[in-house]
């Protein structure tokens, strides 16, 4: 079990049943804002972040190549036994959920931070996180 606080970018997939929106980034924002209501969970279909995400870790959300919001992890990743679609879930702190003013693209972030994105999960350090936050506040 992981106890170190981490920062991870979760890339939402259009093919996941959890993301049934078709209106692009606006739908993704609405989905994230909906996590403020119980049960505040993010579901993983097959894979979960290998290094885990302990309480207090920060999760950034990406859709269609744009980073659009963040939340703080409230509870560790747990197995889900009563679902055929998902194997794990993560509980978010609803009061920490926020949507950014501007949505930097992964290309813009790579330019500023030299970060290479994974397909589903990308761990980042605090310096990279702070640079991304700066980009979410600027045009």
In a domain, 82, yes or no: yes
In a domain, 89, yes or no: yes
3 state DSSP class of 112: helix
Q: Give the total number of structural domains in the chain.
A: 1
In a domain, 105, yes or no: yes
Its pTM stands at 0.91
CA distances from 93 to 2, 9, 59, 115 (A): 18, 16, 11, 26
In a domain, 1, yes or no: no
Q: What is the model's pLDDT at position 83?
A: 76
Report the CATH number that the domain containing residue 20 is assigned in CATH.
Answer: 3.10.590.10
In a domain, 2, yes or no: no
* Residues of the domain holding 130: 7-137
Q: pLDDT band for position 15 (50/70/90)?
A: low
Would you say residue 67 has pLDDT above 60? Answer: yes
pLDDT in tens, 92-125: 999 999 999 999 999 999 999 989 898 889 999 9
């Amino acid at each position: 079990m992981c106890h170190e606080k981490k920062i991870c970018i979760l890339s939402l997939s259009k093919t996941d049943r959890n993301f049934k929106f078709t209106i692009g980034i606006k739908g993704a924002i609405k989905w994230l804002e909906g996590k403020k209501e119980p049960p505040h969970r993010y579901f993983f279909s097959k894979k979960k972040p290998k290094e885990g995400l302990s309480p207090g870790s920060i999760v950034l959300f990406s859709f269609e190549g744009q980073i659009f919001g963040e939340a703080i992890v409230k509870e560790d990743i747990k197995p889900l036994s009563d679902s055929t679609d998902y194997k794990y879930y993560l509980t978010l702190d609803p009061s920490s959920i926020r949507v950014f003013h501007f949505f930097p693209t992964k290309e813009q972030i790579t330019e500023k931070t030299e970060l290479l994105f994974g397909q589903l999960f990308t761990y980042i350090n605090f310096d990279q996180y702070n640079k991304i936050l700066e980009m979410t506040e600027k045009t």
